[in-house]
Amino acid sequence: MLDLALHVGKGPISLKDISKRQEISEKYLWHLIPPLKNAGLITATRGSHGGYVLAKPLQQISLKDIVSVLEGPMCLVECTQDPVSCKRSPDCITRDVWAEATDKFMETLASFTLESMIKRHSSKFKTGLYNI
């Protein structure tokens, strides 16, 4: 998704190009496409010049959106999402701590958008620390 964000406005991006730049298997990327399309985060264009583009503006796609689509509901400990999975859940202080940690984690992911990631990338790229 960051690769697509870095190439916004340059037309559809092929998985082959993303695969090369990110050093990620094209086969693996094929598994990511359907959930991202179904969630309305990317759109596809067919044909020899086809590929993928973001379906929303950079500031409207958060890391929480992406992770939730690709990983499903996030919880650090199962009982925070499914209290009946543990008979001790109603009285468990540790569960409360894990639930709070999960909430903070999700808040952090929600605070990062593709737009803010592009800004971070630009800052690191200028210093030569990172390049996509």
Kindly state whether residue 26 falls inside one of the protein's structural domains.
yes
Query: What is the domain count for the chain?
Result: 2
Please, are residues 24 and 61 in contact by the beta-carbon 8 Å criterion? Answer: no
> Exposure of 102 by Cβ count < 10 A (0-12 exposed, 13-18 middle, 19+ buried)?
middle
Full domain range(s) for residue 96: 62-112
Q: pLDDT by residue for the chain (132 residues), tens digit each?
A: 999 999 999 999 999 999 999 999 999 999 999 999 999 999 999 988 889 999 999 999 999 999 999 998 888 888 888 888 888 888 888 988 998 999 999 999 999 999 999 998 888 776 555 555
Helices (H), 1-132: 2-6, 15-22, 26-38, 63-71, 78-81, 93-111, 114-127
Q: pTM (2 decimals)? A: 0.83
Same domain, yes or no: 43 and 75: no
